[in-house]
Structure 1
Amino acid sequence: ARRALRDAGRIERTRLERRLEKLIALHFNAKGQASTNSRAQPSRRASSFFDIDIKELRNLDAADLWKNMMQNQITPGSKADIRAQEQSITPWENDSDVSQCPLCSASFHPITNRKHHCRLCGRIVCSLPAKRGQRPVTCSLLFIADKKTGKIEEVGEGVDYGVRRRSSMGPQNKGKEKEALIEEEKFLQGVRICRECSSILKRQQHRQEAFHVPTYARLYEAFINLEKQIEDALPVFQELLLALNNDDQPTAEASAARKRLLEAFSQYDSLAKRIRTLPTPGPGSSQDRVQAAILTRASVFLQKHMFPLRTLPKPKKPISSPITEAETPVIDPDSNLAHVLQPLLEQEALLESFVEEAKAHRKFEDVQTLKSNLREIRSEIDKVLANADYEVHRQNG
């Protein structure tokens, strides 16, 4: 019995999900609306008087006769046509069979509490706001779907049982064309469903969110993976440094490890800056704060982990360098010296990666220019370190 109930629930849920897809296609699919509006008119007469059986004519009064004629003269794309298509998707409950809302027991009234049909199950419910003790939540809700992306969004009550699209334009988009502003204020018709059918809507929203991952979320995942790779590679690099035994020249393995780390740091920095420059709903929004926090995290990470790369003796470095690697002071990442060196070290790492890339593409003129810039950066770094060493000796002396 339990399995039968579970199967019945799954069948009912599947049926409601199909109805939801049809309703979205009916109301928010541009192609579907175009095809509905362009349906060919019937070749018979517009008046339905000639379609009425003579025998039925005797049993109809003037009001019923006029009603039948108007029902058969529905214009494609009109409200009456949309309603007829909605009823073909979901059978509606008869108005005369219901006198109060089945969810909150509020009595219906033609003016103060009108009847509304749920477009998924066909049941009649109210649209009254939430009220403590009677309606903890509303008995029905409206939703819209984006015609391009199909994204479903719940919206509040509006004029004439419709809704207005919530403004999503930030201050940075004020210069957009007037057409975008007109579209932003365009009046939309919401589709109503009851509270008990809202789980079907939320289920569909969850599926959409699972398939449509934001760009910054995908980049952040790559950012975290790269950070983990760097953290895993740093201990290996430190072991290679200890194995040098203060040799003048590094081993090929240590040089290759340093090169890989520099390239990883360059990619890490580029990813953080790319995430920060992605468009956001507006300054101060949650997404904007998240992207700013990611850039801050990257800066702290670079300051903390890029300094060990300076301890590896560079090949072909002149012996007469004013500051030897053995004399390089241990730098506190939180010191003023660290903040001065940080941008210089980042530039050095980027230039080294650019030099290797230019060599790989055989752009020898660019290689010479980049090497010249690299020498200037290294000279500036040596000056900063020399001044720091001088200050240390002066204070100790």
Structure 2
Amino acid sequence: MTEGNGRWLGSASSTGQHDRNVEAVTCPVCGNELKSLRKLNVHLDNVHGFNDESASDVDSSRESSVIGLNTLVQERTHERQSKGKLKMNTSHWKKPVEGKSVCFECGCKLNARNGMINCRKCGELFCLRHCRNAIKLNENGEYDPASNVWCKCCHKCYINRKGYNDYGLTRNITQAFAKIRKLKNEDGELITLQLENRLLRLINGIIQLHVRHQSSVFATFRIRAGIIALERSIVEWKDDQMATQCGICSQPFGLLMRKHHCRLCGQIVCDRQETRCSSDIPVLNLMSAAPDLSFENVGNLKAISDLSTGVRICSSCLRYVFAKRKLQFSKALKLPEILQQYENLHNLETLVVNLLPRFQKALDSIHNAPASDETAIQNLAQLRRKLLQNLTLYDKLSKSIVQLDTKSTAEKKIQQSIALHASAFIEEKMLPLKKIPEILNPVSQKVEVTTSSDLLFNNLTIAEVKKYREELMVLNEQRYLVENMLNSAAKERRFEEAISLKTNLSEIDQNIVHLESKLGDEGF
């Protein structure tokens, strides 16, 4: 059987010419490299089970013979078909048009490079990149989880199937987790209570031995012997021969690392300084660290003031007994001075942040009003004055915090952070106040004099003198703040900011000179 040009179908010359015109493609399932798109489609249908059984058997067998599939693959295909493989209805599939078909998802033109495949559910044409999902379908292309046939589908059909969940099957185990956590917390509380009782019995026994034998000639030996017997009666000690390594850090014992028993749990631990698995703590220190426990003879300080006996306790027992007490004790301590000052600084910062929107709203209302209201102008000037006063106090307080003596590296870092934050805050919030609003600028205001009896010096009335004095006071305060900011910017070499601040300072000076010339002798 020959083609139109006289070559045998399936011959080396025919297939070789076809393979040279088409680039090799890779199977998206198993990763095998195939020589053409047709070989890839037949490979997916016959080897991986994504076969299109509704197409005619004659066409598929002809395709297999054309691309030169071996008889083993054909035998497997017939084997699957004989077992009752799914024959899907393809009437809803979109027919491909050579050179014109595009991917329904990305719109790229479908060819041998990117592939061409129908979604078995919606029937649209896709490239191989956008038709990678697989779901179970019946012969009509409908989702059927009970079916045992997996079919290729697009992402949209995959996520729109009934019961789809991005995170898979979920199960709420909050109640079970809370129950386990409660049990663990209860177990921890029981362990803590047990260790506290042992510590209480041990310290009370040591105090009793000390009070009983302190006047004896052999007090040291008798107290020591009594403490050893007492410690072994509190908790059973583990056998030394059974322990080859520390029960906490797991380091093996040797000549340079001795074995020690914890007096509260009986565990064998080491005493290395690096890990602090156990510590010999004086009795008086333990009593002061747990003042809520009912120790004996606490009121008689003279009887136990010279008590120097120590108790060996492991780090695990210390954590159970004293960790919570240490946290509560640190909470009850007075805050360092730097944190107290920062709290005041934070309150001032909150006040400025709350005043600025009111100032901006009052300024906008005056600019938008057809005729300026005297009450609104006075309210605006009062808000501006409050803001300047608070910013001045904020600046002084931040400088006082920077000058405080720090007692640790942590406090030094906190001090530096506060200084940077305060500087940035002042520079940011001073922007709306750097320039005098036009409504408060006395240059553009015209004074109307009604009677000559109201005139004082330089043709000014009493009300005008009062008003100009208030404006002059505000300008002086503003000049002080801007001058401090200019000096700070010059020291920290922020030259661009220093230039703008210098310009603002010159404008303020001009306004001050103008007001002082108007007031004359009535100024201050």
Q: Which bracket does the TM-score occupy, shorter chain normalised?
A: 0.3 to 0.5
TM-score for both structures, normalised by structure 1: 0.48
RCO (CA 8 Å, sep 6+): is it higher in 1 or 2?
1
Larger Rg: 2
TM (normalized to structure 2)? 0.38
